Amino acid sequence: MHRYIWLVPLLPLFGAAINGLLGRKFRFSEKLIGGIAVGSIALAFLLSVAAVYSYGFSSHAIWPETYVTSQDGAFKYDWIPGGAVRQTLGSNERIRGKGEEELAKKRATLPPEERNQPVAVGVFDVPRSSVLNVEWSYQLDALSSIFMLIVTGVGLCIFVFATGYMHGDPGFYRFFAYMGLFMFSMLVLVMGSNFLMMFVGWEGVGLCSYLLIGYYFDRQEAADASRKAFITNRIGDFGFALAIFGVIATFGTSQYGDVFSQARSFPLETLGHWGLLSWIALGLFIGACGKSAQLPLHVWLPDAMAGPTPVSALIHAATMVTAGLYMVTRTNVIFQHSQTMMLVVALVGAATALFAATIGITQNDIKKVLAYSTVSQLGFMFMACGVGAFAIGIFHVMTHAFFKALMFLGAGSVIHGMHHEQDLRRMGGLRKYMPYTYLTFLAGWLAICGIIPFSGFWSKDEILWNAAATRYIPVGWLVWIVGTVAATCTAFYMTRLVAMTFWGKERFLPVHHEHTPEHEGHLMDDHPAPEHHGDFPHESPRSMWVPLAVLAVLATVGGFVGISTAFTGGKHVGGRMNIVNFLDPIIWNPTTRYFGTHEAVDSYGKPLESVAHTGVDLVTQELEPVEAPPPYSSEGFNLAHAVESKLHNEIATEWVFIVISLLVAGIGIGLGFLFYVKDTRLPDIWAARLRPLYEASYNKYWVDEFYGWAVTRRVMDAARAVYALDAKVVDGAVNGMAWITRLSSRITGAVDQYFVDGLVNAIAAFIMRLMSPLLRAAQTGFAQNYALVMVLGLVAAVAMFFGADILKMVRNIFAIFV
């Protein structure tokens, strides 16, 4: 199946190309455009499912031994060919990956004259060259499997939703063309087999994000937001690009398998030791910060809500913003080599989680609240990566994709039903009017608050537990405290959101008809639905609430693939259906220095002896949780250990943290209920009491203002200075050069006219005078003269060709007489 995974990104691109290139010219109907877009995504989703099944779950599954790329099968395509770098013996040589004895065996089977040729049978034996050779191939492994399913699966729901949400929009074809292009880029990002393909996808999603945020480009706000997103991402991409250069300079290749198999044996870099891999990891993390809206570079994501709501759900919640997580997890070898960077990742994640959660409390725009919630949840994910729980980070990516896409689409449904009203203060009591939206939204709300057994509980609880129990960094307890406070805030503001939207008094009467461009689209509709202009909010059409229902189911039960070990007797149950086990082969273990924590499988090569010989069945085996601490195991205070030393029971310890996390979720929900349902005067009272804090949160800690002052103003000043320099000095120089050129041209013109031309005329006239009488004499004008010349020419020709024969003949004639 891996031979056909190249179709997965191609299908959305194809759909986007049809819609984008032909949609306008041939006036495709909305049904056709929607059908093409949804159909291409659905096909890609089915292909992804088949690929993941064949990779991990079929009877011929190759999990967890290794990875496969699309180049291992059907065709090879060297994207940036750099010369003959790699030679393989057969189609699937690389994926088997063997050691030296295998290599020797291979060699022995070859004819004698070929035995000394380089033979690459595994990634370890790939002849390295100073010439960079980049292939365009898609890689199928545990991580890309999960991302493929998230991107195409959640993407499918959002596409279906969008056909309802964008109904009547004049740019329908354009929207779906951009969305398809985005899906293509995102799939290239997560399926590429090397850093450069990841970068292509990275830039592609950045472009599509820019295009889609600025979809309503006639609105100044949207245009500004799209530029802001693009420019902020450039800062991150700068770091990412440097990191890629670093990787290529260090390892001589950009292919994941080759890079990681080399990085495996690099020395570890402890806290404060800035080695090569730390710098590379720093660059990568700057890139991740830009794309995933982490603290210094988070400013673009809330503004990105100017785009259509399905875009917010797909790009700015479910998929694109998790690209940073994908990258950090993909390069976890590099990150785990650097304790410093692990600490940085954890602290930045924790800080972002709390920072964004506190802002989310006071925002009044429904999408802004969700945007800050997304930033906060991304912080949680980075927290997980920073404390060494990469699989849990990806688990949270997945559950977050479910419940946040659900909530964004729910918000979209509300906005749709409320005639494009986004202000929470003008909603309330929508439960009656939008039952489906309400019920599905409740699932998302419980999931993000972390109520058992909704999906968010499992992932968030695991993150906090791993933070408390981490041995990667010395301040796990601090991360845990910050994360717990952020989780409380999350529960509070999400309860506030639900209460202000769906519960309580109806504050939207009378209806405000604000003719935003989004609204104008509906007015231009061919079939204006009467309910669009009714006085009351209405439930959305079926194409919108069915995806909501699907996502609600996922948000409810999706967490069971990562069920906490406290519930299962300390084991990751379920074989490879458990996400921790499934992702295990791509996580590097600093102790064994191989990939995979439980099994001795190095993932990018061969299974280790123990497994190969014991023949453990990886399908049914229930795997032991991570026990091996990294060699740089921190000496600092460890919260989980402190609790465990009192309880003398690991599972009980985990239960303590589960109870705490449920408790804080309950506190958050209870406070939200108290503030926004029981006594609606309380928010104003407390806002007045905590005026400075409220102001800070409401104004987003003035980060935008600070950037505006510290960066934008400085840049503008510099630009002005450079402009002045340009106008005065550069233009002056150019104009001066022009003056000099004119002067010199006048001089040379005179020289040319009087001296050169004069000379030429004199010489020409002399020759003319000399030659003309002769030539004139030849031109008599008598036809007979010319004929005579012709005859003479003929005679000459005859003499030339037959002269010898004629002479001989004449001689013979004379010989007769003599």
Binding residues for another protein, rule: CB under 8 A, are 779-784, 786-788, 791
Nearer to another protein, 739 or 786 (CB): 786
Nearer to another protein, 783 or 818 (CB): 783
- The whole-angstrom separation of Cα 167 and Cα 34 is 10
Q: Are 484 and 663 in contact (CB under 8 A)?
A: no
Nearer to another protein, 116 or 779 (CB): 779
- Nearest distance from C-beta of residue 759 to another protein, angstroms: 32
- The whole-angstrom separation of Cα 435 and Cα 413 is 11
Neighbours of 695 (CB within 10 A): 13
Nearer to another protein, 750 or 795 (CB): 795
**Is the four-CA dihedral 86, 90, 94, 97 of positive or negative sign?**
negative
- Nearest distance from C-beta of residue 791 to another protein, angstroms: 6
Nearer to another protein, 272 or 781 (CB): 781
- Nearest distance from C-beta of residue 797 to another protein, angstroms: 14
- The whole-angstrom separation of Cα 235 and Cα 339 is 24
- Nearest distance from C-beta of residue 767 to another protein, angstroms: 21
Nearer to another protein, 783 or 815 (CB): 783
- Nearest distance from C-beta of residue 796 to another protein, angstroms: 14
- Nearest distance from C-beta of residue 798 to another protein, angstroms: 11
81 SS3 class: coil
- Nearest distance from C-beta of residue 782 to another protein, angstroms: 5
- End-to-end CA distance of the chain: give it in Å, rounded: 105
- The whole-angstrom separation of Cα 465 and Cα 755 is 94
- Nearest distance from C-beta of residue 779 to another protein, angstroms: 4
- The whole-angstrom separation of Cα 702 and Cα 699 is 6
- The whole-angstrom separation of Cα 452 and Cα 461 is 10
Nearer to another protein, 274 or 786 (CB): 786
- Nearest distance from C-beta of residue 773 to another protein, angstroms: 14
Nearest to 554 by CA among 406, 373, 391: 406
Nearest to 185 by CA among 13, 20, 44: 13
Q: Are 301 and 700 in contact (CB under 8 A)?
A: no
Q: How far from 51 is each of 15, 47, 140, 451, CA to CA, in Å? A: 21, 6, 8, 33
- The whole-angstrom separation of Cα 539 and Cα 542 is 9
- The whole-angstrom separation of Cα 302 and Cα 283 is 24
Q: How far from 679 is each of 243, 446, 492, 682, 697, CA to CA, in Å? A: 53, 22, 15, 6, 22
- Nearest distance from C-beta of residue 788 to another protein, angstroms: 5
Nearer to another protein, 108 or 775 (CB): 775
- The whole-angstrom separation of Cα 392 and Cα 381 is 8
φ, ψ of residue 588 in degrees (nearest 5)? -80, 140
Count Cβ atoms within 10 A of the Cβ of residue 687 and give its class: 0-12 exposed, 13-18 middle, 19 or more buried.
middle
Nearer to another protein, 733 or 798 (CB): 798
Tokens matching residue 557: 């039960």
- Nearest distance from C-beta of residue 765 to another protein, angstroms: 23
Nearer to another protein, 756 or 778 (CB): 778
Nearer to another protein, 217 or 802 (CB): 802
Q: How far from 118 is each of 69, 104, 107, 114, 514, CA to CA, in Å? A: 22, 11, 9, 9, 71
- Nearest distance from C-beta of residue 806 to another protein, angstroms: 12
Q: How far from 355 is each of 301, 411, 416, 575, CA to CA, in Å? A: 14, 23, 30, 37
Q: What is the CA radius of gyration of the chain?
A: 37
Tokens matching residue 462: 């695991």
- Nearest distance from C-beta of residue 810 to another protein, angstroms: 15
- Nearest distance from C-beta of residue 789 to another protein, angstroms: 10
Q: Reduce the secondary structure of 27-93 to three states and give it as a string.
A: CCCHHHHHHHHHHHHHHHHHHHHHHHHHHHHCCCCCCCCCCEEHHHCCCCCEEECCCCCCCECCCCH
Nearer to another protein, 784 or 812 (CB): 784
614 SS3 class: helix
Nearer to another protein, 645 or 780 (CB): 780
Nearer to another protein, 782 or 817 (CB): 782
Q: Up-side HSE of residue 126: CA atoms within 13 Å toward CB? A: 30
- The whole-angstrom separation of Cα 369 and Cα 598 is 40
